[in-house]
Amino acid sequence: MTELIRLSKRMSELGLCSRREADEWIAKGWVRVDGKVIAELGTKILPHQKITIERQAAAEQSKRVTILINKPVGYVSGQAEDGYLPAIALIKPENRWSECKVNTSFHPTQLRSLVPAGRLDIDSVGLLILTQDGRIAKKLIGENSEVEKEYLVRVVYNKPGRLPDSDLRLLNHGLSLDGKKLLPAQVRWQNDDQLQFILKEGKKRQIRRMCEMVGLKVVGLKRVRIGKVRLGKLPEGQWRYLRDDEPFN
């Protein structure tokens, strides 16, 4: 016998929207199952049942924005903490990059439900994505996300000589954090004091902690790419809209 599944969860699995969005749409009467409007939150359905959404939901979703920001040091990714400003505080008309190619006018309503899709710690700089679109958030930080994140990491070795090749191999695969083995990474030298890291996960302060394990101190960390979307020439402290022709994968 096929198990019943919560409607909002099934909608998220199908990539229609996030679970939060699904609940909003259900409450507004915008979701049908096998042609019947479902307006009760928590409704469960069978996986094979046909879900359709009203045009209003699709129209509302199309208005949702995704923003790229080049986060400076001293800003936190999410909620304000310990007196530090969140990166969203930088999203105002005067900080919009003059070379932004998207023909969208800024409006304060775009800041509502705009959440960071992944973290970048207070001491790090570079590409941070903030989005109102639950589908993008799920793609970038969902449990099964396969999207690569690329970082340039300036380091100092606190032991004599150079980092042994065996420790570089450990950075690529073999380390554990919080009792859990890390996924394979791609780590290689860019020059004498800078490493390139490509990861498919993002545990808290992961790169700094990985480096500490092999005797490296991180003195600078910059995220330059998420999936196929690059930081490029976006100046520090400025932002732009994600273009329609910029898929993450």
Catalytic residues: 121
Distance CA 45, CA 191 (A): 55
**Overall size of the chain counted in residues:** 249
Alpha carbon 174 to its chain's center: 25
Are the beta carbons of 51 and 10 closer than 8 angstroms? yes
Distance CA 118, CA 110 (A): 19
* 133-144 burial: b if 16+ Cβ within 10 Å, else e: bbbbbbbbbeee
**Phi and psi (nearest 5°) for 225?**
-155, 140
Distance CA 243, CA 241 (A): 6
Are the beta carbons of 155 and 170 closer than 8 angstroms? no
